[in-house]
Chains A and B, each alone.
Chain A
Amino acid sequence: MSEYDDVWLIVPVYNEAQVICDVVQKARLTFPNIVCVDDGSRDASVSEIRKSGAHLVRHPVNLGQGASLQTGIEYARTQPGARFFVTFDADGQHQVEDVVRMIDRLREEPIDILVGTRFHGDTSHIPWIKRVVLKTVVALSPRTRRMKLTDAHNGLRAFNKTVAEGLDITINGMGHASEIMAIIDHKGWRVAEEKVTIIYTEYSMAKGQSLINGVNILFDSALRSSRR
């Protein structure tokens, strides 16, 4: 058996039939436990997931990425032997080697959750518009600055069981990244950053968060924090 038997990869999937099988099979070489949450895809994602050897959890209707993550976490945390959890994108922009490093750090250091950051060293591979938007989001959020995080909207996160049990993402759509930060802050979990590489392919760029979605994120976050 693999040394990463206690790790669960959580992959939210929405219309990713082109790539999902490859992405999962590549990750399974290292991580045997992967759960794909199909968020009501209209393409062949479901049959591709079945082929890939991942666990399949299907939303009966489309709910959004935040809801998919929460579903994946709730499924994975009840699996016997699960100790570490990783949120991993379906479009192949995250690297398995980065996840390995994150898990090894979680095992050794007193950290509850590791968040990936793409802002280190040479950042010229990141499309400039993304750089500007992501930097602005961080600059506008006092919480993220206080927590010394540079890339709050990175989809690659690794965390332990405490976090998996405590997370309750209520924002179904794209605002969930800021909500996760708010929950970490509220619960006082020990958080750190890990340098990761994001590979921007034409495919992942076309699927990525659009700028206009930033408006939705800001609006959702504003109303949420006013109620907390």
Chain B
Amino acid sequence: MIIQILLIGAVLVLMVFFLRNHGTTRTAAGVKIGFVLFILFGVLAVLWPDALTVVADLVGVGRGTDLLLYGLVVAFAFAMVNTYLRFKELELRHARLARAIAVQSAEPPALDHEEKNVPSAS
């Protein structure tokens, strides 16, 4: 009973955290829908542990825990790719920002050697 409360509580906290960090793109929305489904699955699995085994049997996996493990591996791989893409995007934004600064503060060459001795106007 206590573990059920703990798990559902953790899932709710995660969900609130996730929704508050909302992105803007359609991809981000897709990720969120996937996450909500994952949460629903988690809640159902906690409330009816036997159902997991039934589902596992249905899809040809021996035990419910195995099914859970497989699901976790897939979700983890998915999250890793998502993170990688996210980092790439951030890297690109970071590069564009740095580029803007670099071009703004560009230094044209100093006067050529023959002109160097001429006193400047300022």
Contact = CB atoms under 8 A, between A and B. Distances in A.
Interface in B91-107: 91-92, 94-95, 98-99, 101-103, 105-107
Interface stretch (B34-42, B51-59, B108-116): B108-116
A60 B94 CA distance: 11
A172 B107 CA distance: 23
Contacts of A75: 102-103, 106
Closest 4 CB pairs of A and B: A56-B107, A57-B106, A67-B95, A53-B109
B84 interface: yes
Nearest to B104: A57
Q: Interface on chain A toward B: helix, strand, loop, or mixed SS?
A: mixed
Give the bracket for the number of chain A residues in contact with chain B: 20 to 34
B92 A61 contact: no
Given A172-B92, A172-B95, A55 B102 contact: no
Given A74-B103, A75-B103, A172-B91, A59 B109 contact: no
A107 interface: no
Given A58-B102, A59-B102, 5 more contacts: A55-B108, A57-B106, A61-B98, A71-B99, A75-B103
A50 B107 CA distance: 9
A71 B84 CA distance: 24
Interface in B80-96: 84-85, 88, 91-92, 94-95
Interface residues of B, number: 19
Contact of B107 (A55, A63, A71): A55
Nearest to B99: A71
Given A172-B91, A223-B84, A74 B99 contact: yes
B95 A50 contact: no
8 contacts: A35-B106, A54-B109, A55-B108, A57-B102, A59-B98, A59-B99, A63-B94, A172-B95
A61 B95 CA distance: 9
A209 interface: no
A37 B94 CA distance: 17
B91 to A, nearest CB: 6
B86 to A, nearest CB: 12
B103 A63 contact: no
A123 interface: no
A70 interface: yes
Contacts of B99: 59, 63, 67, 70-71, 74
B74 to A, nearest CB: 18
Interface in A13-53: 35, 37, 50, 52-53
B114 to A, nearest CB: 12
B112 A56 contact: no
B106 to A, nearest CB: 5
B105 A58 contact: yes
